[in-house]
Structure formats: C-alpha cells, structure tokens
C-alpha cells in the first residue's frame, strides 16, 4: 500500500544531504539518498538506493500553513514548525520503506512531527523506526 507521510519541522531543522545521510547511518538504515536531494529545491521523485537496489520517494518541500488549515490541531506550539516535507511512495515495497526510513529519521533526529494525513494521526519517532525496520526485514 502506498505510503504518504507529512513531516512538519522548522526551516532551520531541515537537514542537508550530508546530515540526512549521517542520521540514516546512525540508525543503521541501508538507505542512500541521491545527490539530487536539495532542501527546498528537490521536488517530485528523489532516487534512493536501498540495500543496493533502486528505490526512491516523491518529495516536496512546502510552507506548512495550507496543511495546518486542514489539520489545525497540529500547530502546537503555534508557529514553531514552518516547513512541510511530504514523502510519498508509488506503492512499490522498496519505496514504502524509503518513505518510512526518511520519516523516522526526520522525527528522531531533526524534531519533525510526522503526520499521516489519511488517518489524521501523528506517529511517534519510535513507532516509525520500528515500522521502517520491520518493513525492511519483510523485503527479504
């Protein structure tokens, strides 16, 4: 099933590619983000390598206000998180894992509030880390 995760974080907390790769390694995720990743410039499909195989995510950077208009309960404390990073897969299991790993790292390392808009539920970092690891294990 395609993954869709919305990560809300402060603009200053959006990681560079080097910071993102370092965090992925820290959590022992076998995910390499393509050099095309550029915060606030990357849009659409971002290639990734997951355990030596092709993967990737659809990635967007947007202002958070339109999203908060749909889900105002997420603005707590108000104004702290001003950037929306949308991570979406096309339904391929490797892409699903890429979305989960990136969302988990954004939450655990960079303070993102990760929200599943389909369920209108926030997902804690520890749960995202567990989901990413279990879905990765299922790929074998």
78 has pLDDT over 70: no
Mean pLDDT, residues 11-18 taken together: 96
pLDDT number for residue 43: 72
Helices and strands (DSSP H and E) totals, the chain: 4, 7
pLDDT number for residue 74: 86
Q: Is 7 helix (H, G, I), strand (E, B) or coil?
A: strand
Give the H or E element holding residue 84. Answer: strand 83-88
pLDDT number for residue 29: 97
Look up residue 83 and give its two tokens: 């950037």
Q: How far apart are the first and last CA of the chain?
A: 17
Mean pLDDT, residues 40-49 taken together: 88
pTM of the predicted model, to two decimals?
0.95
Q: How far apart are CA 114 and CA 17, in angstroms?
A: 19
Mean pLDDT, residues 99-109 taken together: 97
pLDDT number for residue 41: 87
Query: What is the percentage of the chain residues whose pLDDT exceeds 70?
Result: 97
């Amino acid at each position: 099933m395609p993954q869709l995760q919305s990560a809300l974080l402060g603009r200053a907390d959006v990681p560079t590619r080097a910071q993102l790769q370092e965090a992925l390694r820290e959590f022992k995720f076998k995910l390499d983000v393509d050099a095309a990743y550029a915060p606030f410039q990357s849009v659409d499909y971002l290639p990734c390598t997951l355990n030596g195989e092709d993967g990737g995510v659809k990635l967007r950077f947007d202002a958070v206000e339109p999203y908060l208009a749909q889900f105002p309960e997420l603005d707590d404390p108000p104004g702290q998180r001003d950037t929306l990073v949308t991570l979406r897969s096309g339904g391929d299991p490797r892409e699903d894992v890429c979305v989960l790993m990136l969302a988990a790292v954004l939450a655990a390392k960079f303070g993102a509030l990760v929200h599943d808009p389909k369920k209108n539920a926030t997902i804690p970092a520890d749960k995202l880390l567990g989901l990413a690891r279990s879905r990765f294990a299922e790929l074998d």
